Homo-oligomer: A and B are copies of this chain.
Amino acid sequence: MNCAFALDRIRIVLSRPSHPGNIGAAARAMKTMGLTRLWLVSPAAFPDPVADARASGAGDVLASARVVSTLEEALAGTVLAAAVTARRRELSLPRLNARAAAAELVPWTERGEIALVFGNETSGLTNEEVGLCAMPVTIPTSPDFSSLNLGAAVQLLSYELRMAVLEPAAVYTGDPQPQPATHDEVEGFLAHLERAVTESGFHEPHNPRRLMPRFRRLFGRVRLEKEEVGILRGMLSSFQRKAE
């Protein structure tokens, strides 16, 4: 695999970072591993001289950072998103450790851009944010002291991604791969599904019973292909027409 090409298709997304110093540390950590695409979702302070100082020689990564207001915007156009989370969630998928996740993520760069999402320093990612990502990832810290700071977490994952690019897995990737659905296409399907099950009475918005998070978990896990999204939406439309 072309190393620079693969690394160039990886977005590091920091959601709602509180401290500009951590943004700078993340930029420096990324650049030491050859990553350059930094996305910031509603940062508390950016640009900021503290971020510039901590970035050291990685000011170019800060200068080209994309600032957006929602995680959805940061994930638009990606083919796979992973959420770094220290805790287990209800209804979540099994978490992969950082090394296994990097090995799974890197081959997806042949199909399009991927994203690795880090949460706020104090509160982490919300369940909704984790729900937007198809792969939960965890760093195997000591159970007695799991207090990795944000820069350190970005450093470790960036390192594992670089190692996975340098030493690709022994899985044969020459087989033609079907085209994955983009993040936007999957979200469009989930919105259509929600309308259809609301119309049919299966989903009661005032009594949601965690139905939509369960669907999101199921259809996130399967990594839908572009053609499959078309089939599923065609099926939903046929049910809606029949009911009219």
| A interface with B by C-beta (< 8 Å) | 28-29, 31-34, 56-58, 88, 92, 94-97, 99-100, 138-142, 144-149, 151-152, 155-156, 159, 162-163, 166, 168-172, 174-175, 177, 196-197, 199-202, 211, 214-215, 218, 221-222, 224, 227-228, 231, 234-235, 238-239, 241-243
Contact = CB atoms under 8 A, between A and B. Distances in A.
B242 A100 contact: no
A152 B149 contact: no
A146 B32 CA distance: 5
Contact of A138 (B31, B156, B172, B201): B172
Given A32-B148, A148-B32, A222 B228 contact: no
Contacts of A146: 32
A155 B149 CA distance: 11
A163 B175 contact: no
A191 B24 CA distance: 48
A32 B100 contact: no
A238 B202 contact: yes
A142 B31 contact: yes
A168 B29 contact: no
Nearest to A61: B145
A-B pairs with the 8 shortest C-beta distances? A100-B170, A202-B238, A34-B142, A222-B222, A200-B238, A239-B239, A242-B243, A95-B172
B163 A140 contact: yes
A202 B235 contact: yes
